[in-house]
């Protein structure tokens, strides 16, 4: 596996050969809090003038190495080339026209400029607050509670119909994300605005160890029985944590609605 130094030298050498004006690094490698390991991507942007020329003949990408798999993605005015190489390294390379630098900056939580001879980035700054969370408003809290209990009924329906994918999707993508939001609001209530990271990856650094264990135990979706167990535990945990937050923040909590939804689930799943 090529070393960090070898990869960074290669990225800069190719940029120079293509006459790229600006090179910047974003993602986990630009985040001092991120775990350092072999799975870190190189999230790189080349700010270019000749975008159409570069995308019309992509043979220059071969200079990065032999690829196992790749994806090409268009986002706004940007083109992304996601490349996993045979040695295990991965580069997510963005080509961005220089007149649309702001579009790229707005999509990133932070970045480090590596090359900028003409100071094009001088007037731009990263927005690290992208994954920060503030204390909840009562309206936000009410919406989260309503969403959680409403969607929990979809999970019940999916379980009863033995629709594993449907039930799992609603449980993890919606219900458990609302639970994570409530936990994040608990942290924000005690600490103010905090960086919880993309997909809540830093959240449990701020919480007691048992909280992470409790949440991790919810993530077995290997069978209808396990999904059922996960849902029943998730709704009890949400009920507990939402009540705690409401009490601390002085918010109204629809306890009667919650208890009726818990009973609704238990009647149909037990």
CB-CB contact of 242 with 175 (8 Å): no
Would the pTM count as exceeding 0.75? Answer: no
What is the model's pLDDT at position 194?
83
Q: What is the CA radius of gyration of the chain?
A: 23
What is the model's pLDDT at position 202?
83
Higher pLDDT, 236 or 34: 236
What is the model's pLDDT at position 217?
96
pLDDT greater than 80 at residue 106: no
Quickly tell me which residue has 């083109």 as its tokens: 79
Q: State the DSSP string of the chain.
A: ---HHHHHHHHHHHHHHTT-SEEEEEGGGG-TTS--STT--EEEEEEES-HHHHHH-GGGGGGG--EEEEEEEEETTEEEEEEEETTS-EEEEEEEEGGGHHHHHHT-S-EEEEEETT-TTTT----GGGGEE-PPPHHHHHHHHHHHHHHHHHHHHHHHTT-HHHHHHHIIIIIHHHHHHHHHHHHHHHHSSEE--GGGTTGGGSS-HHHHHHHHTT---SSHHHHHHHHHHHHHHHHHHHHHHHHHHT----HHHHHHHHHHHHHHH-
Write down all domains in the chain, each with its CATH number in brackets: 4-126 (3.30.460.10), 131-269 (1.20.120.330)
What is the model's pLDDT at position 131?
66
Q: Residue 108's pLDDT band (boundaries 50, 70, 90)? A: confident
Q: Residue 133's pLDDT band (boundaries 50, 70, 90)? A: confident
111 DSSP β-pair partners: 26
What is the model's pLDDT at position 125?
64
pLDDT > 70 in the chain, percent: 95
Q: Residue 122's pLDDT band (boundaries 50, 70, 90)? A: confident
**Range of lowest pLDDT (23-27, 214-218, 229-233):** 23-27
What is the model's pLDDT at position 132?
77
CB-CB contact of 147 with 254 (8 Å): no
Neighbours of 85 (CB within 10 A): 18
**Rounded mean pLDDT of the chain?**
91
CB-CB contact of 175 with 250 (8 Å): no
Q: What is the pLDDT of residues 200-215, one digit of tens each?
A: 888 999 999 999 999 9
**Range of lowest pLDDT (40-49, 86-95, 103-112, 231-240):** 103-112
State the Cα–Cα distance between residues 211 and 58, nearest whole angstrom. 48
Q: What is the pLDDT of residues 26-72, one digit of tens each?
A: 887 877 667 678 888 999 999 999 899 999 999 999 999 999 999 99
CB-CB contact of 224 with 158 (8 Å): no
pLDDT greater than 70 at residue 126: no
């Amino acid at each position: 596996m090529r070393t960090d130094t070898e990869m960074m030298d290669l990225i800069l050498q190719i940029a120079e050969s293509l006459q790229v004006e600006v090179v910047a690094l974003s993602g986990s490698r630009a985040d001092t809090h991120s775990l350092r390991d072999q799975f870190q991507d190189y999230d790189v942007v080349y700010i270019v003038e000749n975008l159409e020329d570069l995308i019309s003949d992509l043979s220059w990408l071969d200079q990065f190495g032999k690829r196992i798999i790749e994806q090409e993605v268009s986002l706004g005015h940007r083109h992304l080339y996601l490349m996993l190489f045979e040695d295990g390294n991965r580069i997510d390379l963005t080509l961005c026209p220089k007149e649309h630098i702001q579009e790229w900056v707005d999509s990133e939580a932070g970045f480090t400029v590596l090359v900028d001879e003409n100071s094009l980035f001088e007037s731009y700054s990263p927005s690290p607050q992208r994954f920060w969370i503030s204390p909840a408003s009562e309206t936000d809290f009410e919406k989260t509670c309503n969403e959680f209990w409403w969607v929990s009924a979809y999970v019940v329906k999916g379980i009863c119909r033995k629709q594993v994918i449907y039930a799992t999707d609603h449980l993890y993508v919606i219900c458990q994300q609302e639970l994570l939001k409530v936990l994040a609001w608990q942290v924000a209530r005690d600490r103010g605005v905090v960086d919880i990271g993309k997909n809540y990856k830093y959240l449990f650094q701020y919480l007691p160890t048992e909280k992470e264990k409790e949440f991790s135990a919810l993530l077995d979706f290997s069978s209808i029985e396990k999904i059922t167990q996960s849902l029943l535990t998730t709704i009890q945990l949400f009920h507990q944590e939402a009540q705690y937050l409401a009490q601390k923040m002085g918010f109204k909590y629809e306890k009667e609605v919650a208890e009726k939804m818990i009973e609704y689930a238990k009647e149909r799943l037990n």
